[in-house]
Chain A
């Protein structure tokens, strides 16, 4: 284990070797190598271009059944009128005094719907749906918002190609510029 002095000395080494072109600083190096199987078990995030999407597929027609069983009590029939977040409608309201932010009116990426439903829904049983059920519910939400057809198949290839209506209304603010070297 390092003593305080050892860490300080390590710092001085950085300065010296830094001049010689090596940036390596001495750190504990206690991380264990992760295997691909371990990573696959934990990596549940989906990139906006679809990287990370699993196998499986679903349609809105299939999703209607899952939605009725798992989602409707909180989010209402066809995504409207439930006690929790409204999921459908609202297109054309964003510039009004009472904007309605839903999957259809606001969300910029269809991949986000899959990512979020899988990781966080149903609220009391997150991570319980099969990947195909998640595809089906995602398709259902896109369908009730008029974005895809009832029989359109959502899978790893088709979902990232869905262009959400509000996609181009987001203006990224330039990210952080570091203040310290």
Chain B
């Protein structure tokens, strides 16, 4: 490290924690000087550098298109497909490339997938939703009738409870950020509050549960507490302004803010109002949390407070020492994110990162903090706190509490090691 006089001044005046973390407002206060020192993570070589004229200025551009798609140069920004059942094509998950994205909204085509037997093709003109069981009036709704109900639009994350599950393993997976943490995505969901339909059907006040069932080949089914169903459950019809994508439940899915992903049953065809949980396969034999003592926790619904730095992260490479903006996402299934702290010295010292507006309950929250990298190996971490006061545990704390056989609900502090050559690795530190 060869700090010049200006660098030393920056460090002295703006240091927020050890090893180069600067005050989260440094980009605002520093103005042009700080911006000039910013170094991109991606290469910025240009084939149309001055004084040459960019080729696009010398000919007509591409025509209009009925439905846009990402720039051809972004072709590598894709989901990573991981199948969970040998010999099948539709069972498994695809993961969001978190390290390639910014902000809090996941493009619909990059929203993670988790299917238990593929994506059904459903004609919305044929699809129907049955509400029955402990109700005064069993009702059938078509998609056309659902579209006439008052709707709500909300920005919410969805996280598979198996997200980051490989981090329970003895060695850290040598994977990209998206491959380990990309079973979380965030969208604006628009749809009809479920409570309206439950009221119309006349749900029995003694019924404490519903069963939600999908019209896929797994007939995916989960029990949901009636309190949640009547609180903020949505029958989502739209995702990011357009109708749901097929892989996200077209034409209608249940959406349960903050709850583990598969409870938000896709391709929803049936809601049965019941007095007990149905104890389906996917709420007992799967998606229950085996503890070290052999007992299992059942109905662990809210996804716990969690965060991860997405820039830099495995899958990206640093481009030399100097000033960077660290960027990441934080979320909690119990409400808003109230604080995100970042460490650049492996957790010895922490600085509070800036949370970018909007900071919403049950949504991803984007955080950012400036970091002056001195070019030496460093371990970066982020630690989120939610509005209930819950703080992300360390990996050791999480495993001490629940064991390493859980599979689900991994939400520990994540460490990335930045190597001197700029590579970023997943480490237990």
Q: Do A and B come from one complex?
A: yes
The interface of chain A, by Cβ under 8 A from chain B, is: 1-2, 7, 25, 27-34, 38-39, 42-49, 74, 83-85, 94-95, 97, 99, 101, 103, 106-109, 111-112, 115-116, 119-120, 123, 126-127, 166, 169-173, 175-180
The interface of chain B, by Cβ under 8 A from chain A, is: 85-88, 91, 116-117, 130-132, 137-141, 145, 148-150, 196-197, 199-201, 211, 213, 217-219, 221, 225, 227-228, 230-232, 259, 269-270, 272, 274, 276-281, 284-285, 288, 290, 292-302, 335, 404-405
The reply to whether A47 and B201 contact each other, CB–CB distance below 8 Å, is no
B55 to chain A, nearest CB (A): 49
A156 to chain B, nearest CB (A): 16
Q: Which of B150, B292, B294 sits near A7, CB closer than 8 Å?
A: B150
The reply to whether B279 and A39 contact each other, CB–CB distance below 8 Å, is no
Contacts of B269 in A (CB 8 A): 42
Contacts of A83 in B (CB 8 A): 86-87
Q: Shortest 6 CB-CB distances between A and B: which pairs?
A: A31-B139, A95-B294, A30-B145, A94-B294, A178-B231, A116-B281
* Chain B residue nearest in CB terms to A35: B138
Taking A45-B280, A85-B85, A177-B227 as known contacts, 18 extra A-B pairs with beta carbons closer than 8 A to each other, sorted by chain A number, are: A27-B200, A30-B149, A31-B139, A31-B140, A31-B201, A48-B279, A49-B276, A84-B86, A84-B88, A101-B285, A109-B284, A119-B221, A123-B91, A126-B217, A166-B296, A169-B296, A178-B228, A180-B231
The reply to whether A172 and B298 contact each other, CB–CB distance below 8 Å, is yes
* Chain A residue nearest in CB terms to B228: A176
The reply to whether B281 and A115 contact each other, CB–CB distance below 8 Å, is yes
B104 to chain A, nearest CB (A): 21
Tell me the bound Cα distance from A103 to B285 in angstroms. Answer: 8
The reply to whether B295 and A169 contact each other, CB–CB distance below 8 Å, is yes
A168 to chain B, nearest CB (A): 9
The reply to whether A45 and B221 contact each other, CB–CB distance below 8 Å, is yes
Majority SS at the chain A contact face: loop
A119 to chain B, nearest CB (A): 4
B198 to chain A, nearest CB (A): 11
Contacts of B274 in A (CB 8 A): 47
Contacts of A180 in B (CB 8 A): 231-232
Q: Which of B138, B199, B218 sits near A120, CB closer than 8 Å?
A: B218
B330 to chain A, nearest CB (A): 19
By CB atoms of chain B within 10 A, which of A47, A49, A111 has the most?
A: A47
By CB atoms of chain B within 10 A, which of A25, A30, A178 has the most?
A: A30
